[in-house]
C-alpha cells in the first residue's frame, strides 16, 4: 500500500467539454462505483463505495474537488493527506491507503482506501446508549493511543481526533477486533505554521479555540493538540455524551472567565470511582493549559498496556450506567446496591464490544459499511468565518456551537 506517489490523468480529447459523471471518470482508473452507496460527504468532498478491479476488492474512494479560488492550496492539502497516509502504511491502527491520483486536469484529487466493514465510534456509542464497560473503554483507548503514537513519531498532527473519526472493526463472530484512525483531511506537519485553526471545537484546547475565534495568531500544530482531544474522547467513552457536554459547558465558562491553572480541568467524581487514579491523572494532564506539560501518546500507551496488557480481558459483571441514554431518553439506570449484586468476586472473560448484560451473548446489531473516512458530515468541523471570528453575542461560550443532544 502507498509509496507510489500521486498519478494524474486528463479527460480524453473526444470527451473534453462534456460533463462526465464521477462513475465514468473513475471507471477509467479500474474503479467501478456503486452509485447507490455514498459512504460520506462534506465540505471536503465525498466518499464513494467502489470495486477496485486492480485488487479485486471493494474500496472506499474519497474524491476531493479543488476550489477554483484556492486550487494550489487545495492540491497541497491533498498531497499532504496522501503523504501522511502513505507514511503510516505500516500502522495497524490507521486506515490504509491503496493509491491516489488526480482527475479532471488536476482539478480534483482521489484517494483509494481500504473499506472498513464496521461503524465509527460515535455510531457505536449511540447504538450502545453511551454505556460502555470499563474493559471495552480501555481496549479502545490503548489502540487509539498507539495510532497517535505512530502518527506523531512520523511527524504528523491529525488535528481532528474525535469519536466520528475512529473506525471499529469486527471479527467473523461479530466481536470488536480492531480500531483505526481515519479522515486525515486536516492533517498537518508538526511545528509548521498554518493559516487557520481547524478541527472540531469540542475537542480543541483552549488556545486553539481562541485561535479559531481570531483572538490570537493560529498556533503551530503540535502532537499535544491531539492528546488534548484524546482525553476528550476518553471522557466521552467513560462518561457518555451528557457527561461530556456538561464538562464542555464548564470549560466554556472557565474560558469566558479566563480561569486557568487555578481551576484544573478534571474528570467527574463518578468516573474517578471506576478507573485507576493514575490513568485519570495522566489523562487530566492532557488538558493542561501549557502544551509542554501534556503527556505523549507513548506515555499513555505504556500505562494502558500495564493496566490492560492482553487482548482478552477479565472483568466483573458490568454495572449499569447511571445516566440517561440517547437511544432511550427517558430511561434511568442505577449502580448495584451490594457487592454480591455487582458480582464483586465473580469474574468472567469478555471480548471487547460484547453485550454488557451477558458477556457470553453475541454482540449487538449487524455492523454497517463504513469507509476509510468518517461517514458523518464534516459540518461539525470548524472552519473560520471571514476574518477568523465567529459572530454572536456573549463571548466564547455563545460562539462555540454545541455538538448534539
- Provide the pLDDT for residue 389: 31
Q: Was 62 annotated as part of a binding site? A: yes
- Provide the pLDDT for residue 5: 56
Mean pLDDT of 173-179: 91
**CA-wise closest residue to 116 among 355, 376, 374, 363:** 374
Mean pLDDT of 371-377: 40
pTM: 0.74
**CA-wise closest residue to 158 among 62, 91, 110, 223:** 223
pLDDT digits (tens, 9 = 90+) for 219-228: 999 999 999 9
pLDDT digits (tens, 9 = 90+) for 262-280: 467 788 888 888 899 999 9
- Provide the pLDDT for residue 2: 43
Mean pLDDT of 144-155: 98
pLDDT digits (tens, 9 = 90+) for 139-149: 999 999 999 99
Question: Quick check: 59 and 370 in contact, CB under 8 A?
Answer: no
Band of residue 214 on the pLDDT scale cut at 50, 70, 90: confident
Mean pLDDT of 150-177: 94
- Provide the pLDDT for residue 13: 40
User: What are the DSSP calls for 203-270, one per residue?
Assistant: GS-HHHHHHHTTSSPPPPP-HHHHHHHHHHHHHHHHHHHHHHHHHHHHHHHHHHTT--TTS-----HH
Cα Rg of the chain, angstroms: 22
- Provide the pLDDT for residue 243: 80
Q: Which tops the pLDDT comparison, 135 or 129?
A: 135
Q: Residue 230 to residues 112, 124, 155, 375: CA-CA distances in angstroms? A: 27, 17, 17, 20
- Provide the pLDDT for residue 160: 96
- Provide the pLDDT for residue 382: 56
Q: In angstroms, rounded to a whole number, what is the distance separating the alpha carbons of residues 205 and 332?
A: 32
Cα pseudo-dihedral 322, 326, 327, 330, rounded to 10: 60
Three-state DSSP state, 35? strand
Band of residue 155 on the pLDDT scale cut at 50, 70, 90: very high
Q: Residue 147 to residues 62, 161, 270: CA-CA distances in angstroms? A: 21, 11, 28
Mean pLDDT of 130-145: 90
Mean pLDDT of 3-11: 48
> Is pLDDT above 50 for 16?
no
| Domains observed in the chain | 6-115 (3.30.200.20), 119-350 (1.10.510.10)
Q: Which tops the pLDDT comparison, 233 or 259?
A: 233
Cβ neighbour number for residue 55 with a 10 Å cutoff: 13
Question: Quick check: 143 and 176 in contact, CB under 8 A?
Answer: no
Chain mean pLDDT for the chain: 75
Question: Quick check: 286 and 230 in contact, CB under 8 A?
Answer: yes
Q: In angstroms, rounded to a whole number, what is the distance separating the alpha carbons of residues 89 and 180?
A: 12
Q: How far is CA 5 from the centre of its chain?
A: 25
pLDDT digits (tens, 9 = 90+) for 55-109: 999 999 999 999 888 899 999 999 999 999 999 999 999 999 999 999 988 889 9
Q: In angstroms, rounded to a whole number, what is the distance separating the alpha carbons of residues 303 and 283?
A: 11
Question: Quick check: 232 and 202 in contact, CB under 8 A?
Answer: yes
> Is pLDDT above 90 for 351?
no
Cell (9 digits) for 76: 497541497
Q: In angstroms, rounded to a whole number, what is the distance separating the alpha carbons of residues 165 and 44?
A: 14
- Provide the pLDDT for residue 333: 35
> Is pLDDT above 70 for 337?
no
Amino acid at each position: 500500500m502507498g509509496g507510489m506517489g500521486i498519478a494524474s490523468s486528463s479527460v480524453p480529447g473526444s470527451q473534453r467539454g462534456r460533463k462526465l459523471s464521477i462513475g465514468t471518470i473513475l471507471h477509467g482508473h479500474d474503479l467501478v462505483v456503486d452509485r447507490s452507496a455514498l459512504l460520506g460527504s462534506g465540505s471536503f468532498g465525498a466518499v464513494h463505495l467502489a470495486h477496485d478491479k486492480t485488487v479485486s476488492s471493494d474500496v472506499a474512494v474519497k474524491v476531493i474537488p479543488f476550489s477554483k479560488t484556492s486550487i494550489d492550496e487545495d492540491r497541497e492539502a491533498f498531497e499532504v493527506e496522501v503523504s501522511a497516509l502513505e507514511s503510516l502504511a505500516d500502522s495497524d491502527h490507521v486506515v490504509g491507503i491503496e493509491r491516489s491520483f488526480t482527475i479532471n486536469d488536476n482539478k480534483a484529487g482521489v484517494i483509494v482506501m481500504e473499506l472498513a466493514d464496521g461503524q465509527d465510534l460515535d455510531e457505536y456509542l449511540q447504538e450502545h446508549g453511551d454505556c460502555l464497560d470499563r474493559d471495552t473503554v480501555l481496549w479502545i483507548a490503548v489502540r487509539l493511543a498507539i495510532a497517535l503514537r505512530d502518527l506523531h513519531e512520523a511527524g504528523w498532527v491529525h488535528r481532528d481526533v474525535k469519536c466520528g473519526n475512529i473506525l471499529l472493526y469486527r471479527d467473523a463472530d461479530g466481536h470488536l477486533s480492531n480500531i483505526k484512525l481515519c479522515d486525515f483531511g486536516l492533517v498537518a506537519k508538526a511545528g509548521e505554521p498554518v493559516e487557520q485553526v481547524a478541527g472540531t471545537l469540542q475537542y480543541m484546547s483552549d488556545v486553539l479555540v481562541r485561535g479559531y475565534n481570531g483572538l490570537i495568531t493560529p498556533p503551530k500544530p503540535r502532537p499535544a493538540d491531539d492528546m488534548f482531544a484524546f482525553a476528550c474522547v476518553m471522557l466521552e467513552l467513560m462518561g457518555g455524551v451528557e457527561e461530556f457536554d456538561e464538562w464542555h459547558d464548564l470549560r466554556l465558562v472557565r474560558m469566558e472567565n479566563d480561569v486557568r491553572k487555578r481551576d484544573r480541568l478534571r474528570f467527574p467524581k463518578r468516573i474517578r470511582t471506576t478507573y485507576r487514579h493514575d490513568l485519570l491523572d495522566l489523562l487530566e494532564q492532557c488538558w493542561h493549559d501549557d502544551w509542554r506539560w501534556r503527556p505523549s501518546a507513548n506515555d499513555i500507551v505504556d500505562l494502558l498496556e500495564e493496566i490492560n496488557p492482553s487482548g482478552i480481558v477479565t472483568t466483573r459483571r458490568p454495572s449499569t450506567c447511571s445516566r440517561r441514554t440517547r437511544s432511550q431518553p427517558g430511561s434511568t439506570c442505577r449502580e448495584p446496591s451490594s457487592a454480591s449484586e455487582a458480582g464483586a468476586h465473580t469474574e468472567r472473560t469478555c471480548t471487547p464490544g460484547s453485550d454488557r448484560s451477558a458477556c457470553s451473548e453475541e454482540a449487538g446489531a449487524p455492523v454497517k459499511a463504513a469507509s476509510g473516512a468518517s461517514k458523518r458530515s464534516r459540518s461539525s468541523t470548524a472552519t473560520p468565518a471571514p476574518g477568523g471570528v465567529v459572530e454572536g453575542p456573549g463571548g466564547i461560550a455563545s460562539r462555540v456551537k454545541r455538538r448534539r443532544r
